[in-house]
Chains A and B, each alone.
Chain A
Amino acid sequence: MTLKMNTTQNMPNQDSNNVVLKVENISLSFGGVRALNNISFDVNEHEIRSIIGPNGAGKSSMLNVINGIYHPQEGSIFFNGKTRNRMNPTDVARHGIARTFQNIALFKGMTVLDNIMTGRNTLMKSNFLTNALWVGPARDEEEEHRAKVEEIIDFLEIQHIRKTPVGKLAYGLQKRVELARALAAEPTLLLLDEPMAGMNVEEKQDMCRFILEVNNQYGMTIVLIEHDMGVVMDISDRIVVLDYGRKIGDGLPDVVKNDPEVIKAYLGSGH
Chain B
Amino acid sequence: MQFFIEIVISGVLSGLMYSLVALGFVLIYKASGVFNFAQGAMVYAAALAVVGLMGYGIPMWLSIVGAFVYMIIIGIGAERLVLSKLVNQPSITLFMATIGLSYFLEGLSSILFGNEVRSIDLGVVDEPIMSIMDATGLGISKFDLFASAIIIGLVILLSLFFQFTKIGRALRAVADDHQAALSLGISLEHIWTIVWIIAGFVALVAGLLWGSRNGVQYALSLTALKALPVLILGGFTSVPGAIVGGIIIGVSEKLAEIYIPPVLQEAFGGNYGGIEGWFPYIFALFFLLVRPEGLFGEKHIDRV
Chain A residues in the interface with B (C-beta under 8 A): 67, 69, 89-90, 92-94, 98-99, 101, 105-110, 114, 117-119, 121-122, 124, 126, 128, 131-132, 134, 138, 141-142, 181, 185
> Does any Cβ of A come within 8 Å of B90's Cβ?
no
Residue of A nearest to B168 (CB): A131
Residues in chain B within 8 A of chain A (CB atoms): 160-161, 164-170, 172-173, 176-177, 179-187, 194, 197
CA A110 to CA B180, docked complex, whole Å = 13
Given A134-B165, A138-B165, A93 and B170 contact (CB-CB distance below 8 Å): no
Of the listed residues B179, B183, B187, the one surrounded by the most CB atoms of chain A closer than 10 A to its CB is B183
**A122–B161 CA distance with the chains assembled, in angstroms:** 19
Hey, which chain B residues are within 8 Å of A131, CB to CB? 161, 165-168
Q: How would you classify the secondary structure of chain A's contact residues: helix, strand, loop or mixed?
A: helix
A90-B176 in contact (CB<8A): no
Please indicate which of the listed interface residues A89, A94, A101, A108 has the most CB atoms of chain B within 10 Å of its own CB: A89
- Residues of chain B with a CB closer than 8 A to A108's CB: 176-177
Question: In the assembly, what is the distance between CA of A69 and CA of B186, in Å?
Answer: 14
Instruction: Return chain B residues, CB-CB under 8 Å to A114.
Output: 169, 172
Contact B194 A128, beta carbon cutoff 8 Å: yes
* Contacting residue for B186 out of A92, A109, A118, CB 8 A: A118
What residues of A have a CB within 8 angstroms of the CB of B173 in the complex? 107, 110, 118, 121
Residue in A89, A101, A121, A141 whose CB lies within 8 Å of B170: A121
If A99-B183, A106-B180 are given as contacts, then 17 extra A-B residue pairs at C-beta distance below 8 Å, sorted by A number, are A90-B185, A92-B185, A93-B184, A101-B180, A105-B177, A105-B179, A108-B176, A108-B177, A110-B169, A118-B170, A121-B166, A121-B170, A132-B165, A134-B161, A134-B165, A142-B165, A181-B184
How many whole Å from B79's CB to the nearest CB in chain A?
14
Q: Assess whether B185 is in contact with A105, with CB atoms less than 8 Å apart.
A: no
Measured CB to CB, the nearest residue on chain B to A67 is B183
Cα–Cα distance between A153 and B185 once the two chains are bound (Å): 21
Chain B residue numbers with a CB within 8 Å of A121 are 166, 169-170, 173, 184-186
Within the complex, which residue of A122, A132, A142 is in contact with B185, where a contact is CB–CB below 8 Å?
Answer: A122
